[in-house]
Structure 1
Amino acid sequence: MSDSSPRARIGISGWRYAPWRKSFYPAGLPQRLELEYAASRLDTIEINGTFYSLQHRDSFVRWRETVPADFRFSVKGPRYITHMLGLRNAETALANFFASGVLALGPTLGPVLWQLPATRRFDADLVDAFCAQLPRTTTAAASIATGHDERLKDRDWVTTDADRPLRHVLEPRHESFGSPECLDVLRRHGVGLVVADSAGKWPQFREVTGDVVYVRLHGSTELYTSGYTEAELDEWAELCRGWLSGSSCPDVRGRDVYVYFDNDVKVHAPFNAIGLAERLR
């Protein structure tokens, strides 16, 4: 948890979408200024490109330099680890991920998201072993990063400007992850269980297992497409207040809350995010 009182950050999943131009982004705004504009309206963004491929360290530097110092990026872990390796034998892949430039985000680095495929069932030994590998500080992440392979030669970033806590969250999409055994494993490692709203396609877990509550809103009635009504935003605001105060947490201890709207197809995400943020001010 942060040093000060728990805080809610409300943002969007990604920021570069063509339909957002002339709707969320002002007409004529150059594409290179879209992140700067989004960061002037919101206080957090989820970086999704890292899920598909290793990004260049210069991109992380540029993103960090574009946003205010108090801004936070969450970073999505590679699907190579979650989907292709299935969380197994991930040592080198983890090193490559952390060496790719993630640590160049410096103080703007927020939680790291690990999203699992819907076919992945809970395996206690597997999840326990993977969670045990995850670095809990930026110093530990930098140490892991030094084990990267040749793909990162001459383009690595294996240092941190300060030793900061590093928080991880898991977004499973199979109902077996709601078992008491899974919750116990995640709590032992301090890994958060993502609260995902997905129009009923995947289960929605609301158990608090880590020091941060991480919410992904993919659409309440149509996946990635439907917007959230005023009443639905009121409901999510109330849930956030419960996590912030600790009244909805098992130990009655308030948590930082990160909420990302991923209903981007019809340009609902940024406006929904602004609406929820206004309710929590």
Structure 2
Amino acid sequence: MDSAAAAPPRTGRIRVGTSGWRYGSWRGDFYPRGLPQRRELAFIGESFSTVELNGSFYSLQHPDSYRKWRASVPEGFTFAVKGSRYITHMLRLRNSRTALANFFASGVLALDDALGPVLWQLPERQEFDPDRLSEFLAMLPRTTAEAQALARDHDARLDGRDWLHIDADRPIRYALEPRAESFAHPDLYALLRDHRVALALADTAGRWPRLEADTTDFAYIRLHGSAELYTSGYSAAELREWSDLCRRLSNRQADHPADVYVYFDNDAKGHAPHDARALADLVGDAPEGAP
């Protein structure tokens, strides 16, 4: 038999983590009792290969925070960064160039090689407007050098607290999480393919539509709870189903393996880190540096 024909199919990297890490209910449960709060992210880095940074959604963070976060995790760890809600929920993607410059100037680029996908979560009441979305997606910098150039156009609010350095020019990945039924449209999928943006697959206990489409070379999954939004845990059978899906997504293109990023957001009762650890074990995602 030809050796090339016998070779197993290549698969992308499956990374599993949580959305955020600073939750009081995790202390003394997932986090060991007595673990200092300043050590919680380091514990995440010892437990998972990725985390979704969600403080960036609520406000512009400080470069010192990004630098501290990067220093807290091992080499090879990845941060997904949630895009600013000022852009998505207040501006509704309109006239957002300066706000986008502020976002990238706030310290995102200080993550260096630990910068993973940037997620744009849209509000529930935002309907699909292909022209508005296309204009926004075309504005997104595709590399860290492009982001650096854009960040230089930040406004006065970032004067004296900007971060405009990069250690290398790397590609930047983006994912979009819509929450209105009108986004279930072929024109959306075509638009995302044109701009190489992933359509986030969100499990939301039926609250928002579950949209699925292969639009770029990676997949982004957010698990908010299957039965009760943000609250319910996932059963062993459900986690096996998600494991199977992750594996299918990671080898959906034999010649171009797809990376898969999965984040548990069912944190209200502390299920997220335990579910994430169980799914990571199922897909073989060991934390960086683990034997």
TM-score (norm 1): 0.96
SS in 2 for 1:271: helix
Q: Which has the higher contact order (CA 8 A, sep 6+)?
A: 2
1:147-195, Cα deviation, whole Å (9 max, x unpaired) = 0011111110012100111000000001111200111011000011000
Question: 1:22 matched to which residue of 2?
Answer: 28
Q: Give the aligned CA root-mean-square deviation in angstroms.
A: 1.2
* Aligned partner (choices 99, 102, 115) of residue 93 of structure 1: 99
Contact 1:44 1:71 in 2 (8 A): yes
Question: 2:268 matched to which residue of 1?
Answer: 265
Q: Does 1:280 align with 2:283?
A: yes
* Aligned partner (choices 169, 173, 176) of residue 182 of structure 2: 176
Q: Does 1:34 align with 2:37?
A: no
Aligned-partner residue type, residue 206 of structure 1: E
Question: 2:244 matched to which residue of 1?
Answer: 238
Contact 1:246 1:252 in 2 (8 A): no
Aligned-partner Cα distance in 1 for 2:259–2:265: 20
Aligned-partner residue type, residue 262 of structure 2: V
* Aligned partner (choices 56, 61, 67) of residue 55 of structure 1: 61
Q: How many residues align?
A: 275
Question: 2:144 matched to which residue of 1?
Answer: 138
Question: Which protein shows a greater Rg?
Answer: 2
Query: Which consecutive aligned stretches of 4+ in structure 1 deviate over 2 angstroms post-superposition?
Result: 251-254
Q: Does 1:117 align with 2:123?
A: yes
Of 251-260 and 36-45, deviating more is 251-260
* Aligned partner (choices 195, 198, 219) of residue 204 of structure 2: 198
Aligned-partner residue type, residue 152 of structure 1: L
Q: Does 1:189 align with 2:192?
A: no
Aligned-partner residue type, residue 168 of structure 1: Y
Of 102-111 and 173-182, deviating more is 173-182
Aligned-partner Cα distance in 1 for 2:11–2:74: 20
SS in 1 for 2:153: coil
1:187-211, Cα deviation, whole Å (9 max, x unpaired) = 0000110000000000001211122
Residues 108 and 68 (structure 1), Cα distance of their counterparts in 2 relative to 1, 3 Å cut: same
Aligned-partner Cα distance in 2 for 1:133–1:193: 18
TM-superposed deviation, 1:5: 5.1
Question: 1:151 matched to which residue of 2?
Answer: 157
TM-score (norm 2): 0.93
TM-superposed deviation, 1:252: 7.3
SS in 2 for 1:232: helix
TM-superposed deviation, 1:254: 2.7
1:109-133, Cα deviation, whole Å (9 max, x unpaired) = 0000000001111111011110000
Contact 1:6 1:244 in 2 (8 A): yes
Aligned-partner Cα distance in 2 for 1:49–1:210: 26
Identity across the alignment (%)? 57
Gaps of 5+ in 2: 1-9, 285-291
Contact 2:88 2:121 in 1 (8 A): yes
Question: 1:103 matched to which residue of 2?
Answer: 109
1:8-61, Cα deviation, whole Å (9 max, x unpaired) = 000000000000000000000000000001110001000111111000100000
Aligned-partner residue type, residue 23 of structure 1: D
Residues 209 and 91 (structure 1), Cα distance of their counterparts in 2 relative to 1, 3 Å cut: same
* Aligned partner (choices 251, 254, 257) of residue 254 of structure 1: 257
* Aligned partner (choices 222, 231, 242) of residue 225 of structure 1: 231
Aligned-partner Cα distance in 1 for 2:147–2:12: 24
Aligned-partner residue type, residue 197 of structure 1: D
